[in-house]
Amino acid sequence: MFLRRERRSLWEPCYQTPESELSDAVTWETRARGCDVTRGEVVTGKGVVEIKAVRYSSNCRDNWILKTECDTFFEFCLKFFTSPSDSLSQCDMGSYGPTNHYDDRNYIDFTYVTSFPGGIKNPLKFEVRRFETFDLKFVIRVRDDEAQGSEHLAWLTKVFTHRPAAMEQQSVWSSVQTASSGSYQFLFQFRSYCSPNFYTSACDVYCLAQDSSSGHYTCNQATGAKVCMPGWTGETCTTDIDECAQGICHNGANCTNLPAPTLATARRISSKCDLIYSLCYSKPCYNNGSCLGNTTYFTCSCGANWTGDTCQTMVNFCKSSSCLNGATCVPIVGNYSCVCPKGWMGSNCQTEVNACLSSPCINNGTCVQVAGGEFTCKCTADYGGAHCEKYLDPCLSSPCHNSGTCVRLTHDEFKCTCPVDFTGAACSQYVDVCESSPCQQAGTCTRLAHDRFRCSCTVDYGGPTCEEYRDPCLSRPCLNGATCTRLTHDKYQCSCPVDYTGRECQDYVDPCSSDPCYNLGSCVREAHDVFRCNCTQDYRGGVCEEFVDPCRSLPCLHSGTCVRQAYDDYTCNCTHDYTGSECEKYVDPCRPDPCENSATCVREDFTNYTCVCSAGYTGMNCSQPVGQQERQPLPIILAICGSFLIAIIIVAVFFIVRRRRKKSQFPDTVHVNIREVHNGNDPSVAFDNDLYRHVNMANASLEDSRREKLTCPLIARKLRQPNHHQRPATTC
């Protein structure tokens, strides 16, 4: 037994379950629909409806002036007859489309067409789970393909009744049906049938004949019920019938049940067996066939409509059918049916259809028979259509748009009287003065009336039609010979000469206007970016930033103090041990040596000394021989005093000459004084700035020491707010 689990899919798995595991909650298929034992799947009903397109016609016009027909395409929907007609949103049985369009086609013959443009097959095939009703609604939407999209033309609807055949081979195409709306018509045929192994009129019972461990049965052609083969019984015909239990052996005979389908055979024991069992006992012949047989074999005598060993197969009368002219033969019970191709009729499709017999052409139209049972109508000038049923009034389709008035001229000519805002043959062209693009230079045109407009110009242009180029340089805003460069419609840039500046070059460039010279210096303009400062005598430098101080170079040596007298004059206040205009002379009373007669002079301070006399001499300067020290004549004393006065005069003259020479050299050089540094017995000198030089002064007398001069360029730094009482920094 097989358990069915309800799901949405057409095929679902089912599982063989031991009977001991079944419960009341389990729903078992009592009908053949339930489990495909060959695939282990639950199946539901499955029916098929096929719809074959035959013909389409309309009087649609893409352009009534050019008389072009519509570019038609279709969408198809099959639904219950109670579903809405003008919608494709609820297609209960399925839908197809849209197809690709037919160029300029108002009449389309699908008779020999096997597919629509785009690949959709003709006939259309719709598969359903089961037929809950035999009334179906076929909906066709007709549309026109346009350059800017598509235009809806018509909903075509037809409700029809069908009866599904047991199988496709037994289905017959119905007569032509017409779905129409106004001038739009669509002719089609249909048929319905159950898919293989589905039965009943709803095609919702599944049965697949078996002869295996899964079952031993055939299927009833009408109901789909399982029909067990001889020797088998049970829901799926898997139980071997025990014929011996039916008491078929009499008179003490032993009954042995043989495996189906070889039925039980009675074995005669002497005279007790009164029945020789026949294989016909189980009625192996189907469809009312007659069984003839014994215990070892049987034969079935079938009726006229059935054949096969057990009369299980319907006789296919199509093998000897007389269907003509390419008709399709469909076998039915006891006979056959011919499905005629287009243009033929009769039981065997032997008669060509004369379509003109029914006088299909109206309004004095003439019918002309054509091959294949078709006809064409030659209509009078005022009528058209497949049956000349359409009065050819071009105004009936309202070809004049936008409230234009249509006037019929002939059956295919008309004239439109348009309102003032529209023009054209069909009043479809809006009278738009902007259409001629009157606004220049990418300006935007806005329609105000049928004969008035306004231009919205880009920022670079102006004027009624944006014809004026906006250039701010046209007004010559740049002054003093400057060049104007346009940036945008309202912005410009001036390139000024070197002597002017400002947005419009209105300002004269004078480097002296910022008063760059400090300390009362006067500024002289030499160019637009070059000036010169004339400084007072106490200052110098590029902008008179440097205070002129002769003491800055530390001209006084040996710790002498410099006192500024003027911008080019100073005085040195020397220590006791030095003298001279720059304290360059060491004061040593032993030089010149005052001691005589090879005496040794010993310095006590800057004014006092002691003579260490050699043997035989004495006195202050060892000038007296021993024994004569008490005699010191007056001339000697006077000579000494005279020499001292002369020395003082010489020193004074030296200072005067030295001072005058310094006045003439001061502007060009800076003196760096050397001071004596005593370090043990190694006298040396050092500069008073960051650069030091050592000069060996050993064994040199004070008079022989030289004053070295160093010169360096002054690098003046311009100070915006200098302190007039500070000396500007100078480096070497």
Per-residue pLDDT of 545-579, as tens digits, reads: 888 888 988 899 988 999 988 878 889 999 888 88
The domain segmentation of the chain, as residue ranges, is: 42-205, 318-352, 394-431, 434-469, 590-620
Using a cut of 0.85, tell me whether the model's pTM lies above it. no
CATH T-level fold of 42-205: Immunoglobulin-like (2.60.40)
pLDDT at 665 over 50: no
Residue 262 is predicted with a pLDDT of 41
Is the domain spanning 394-431 CATH 3.30.1360.120? The answer is no
Residue 261 is predicted with a pLDDT of 58
Closest of 259, 200, 211 to residue 37, by C-alpha: 211
Residue 727 is predicted with a pLDDT of 39
pLDDT confidence tier of residue 20, bands split at 50, 70 and 90: very low
- What is the average pLDDT across 95-109? 89
Residue 712 is predicted with a pLDDT of 33
Instruction: List, as one string, the DSSP characters of 120-185.
Output: -BSSEEEEES--S-SEEEEEEEEEEEETTEEEEEEEEEEEEE---BSSGGG--PPPPEEEEETTEE
More confident residue, 254 or 261: 254
pLDDT at 73 over 90: yes
In 3-state terms, what secondary structure has residue 56?
strand
Q: Which residue has the tokens 């078709």?
A: 374
Q: Which CATH architecture has domain 434-469?
A: Ribbon (2.10)
pLDDT at 214 over 70: yes
pLDDT at 325 over 60: yes
Residues 719 and 701: their CA atoms lie apart, in Å, by 46
pLDDT confidence tier of residue 484, bands split at 50, 70 and 90: very high
pLDDT at 50 over 60: yes
Residue 361 is predicted with a pLDDT of 87
Convert 709-720 to b/e letters by CB count within 10 Å (16 or more is b): ebeeeeebebbe
Q: Answer whether 42-205 and 394-431 agree in fold.
A: no
Whole-number average pLDDT of the chain: 77
Residue type, 532: R
Per-residue pLDDT of 687-698, as tens digits, reads: 333 333 333 333
Is the domain spanning 318-352 CATH 2.60.40.3120? The answer is no
pLDDT confidence tier of residue 53, bands split at 50, 70 and 90: very high
Convert 508-541 to b/e letters by CB count within 10 Å (16 or more is b): ebebeeeebbbbebebeeeeeeebebebeebbbb
More confident residue, 542 or 397: 542
The least confident of 14-18, 133-137, 154-158 is 14-18
pLDDT at 685 over 80: no
Residue 663 is predicted with a pLDDT of 52
Closest of 529, 537, 531, 564 to residue 550, by C-alpha: 564
Residues 429 and 450: their CA atoms lie apart, in Å, by 12
pLDDT at 721 over 60: no
Tokens of 458: 């880009």
pLDDT at 146 over 80: yes
The least confident of 106-110, 346-350, 675-679 is 675-679
pLDDT at 182 over 80: no
First to last CA, the chain: 119
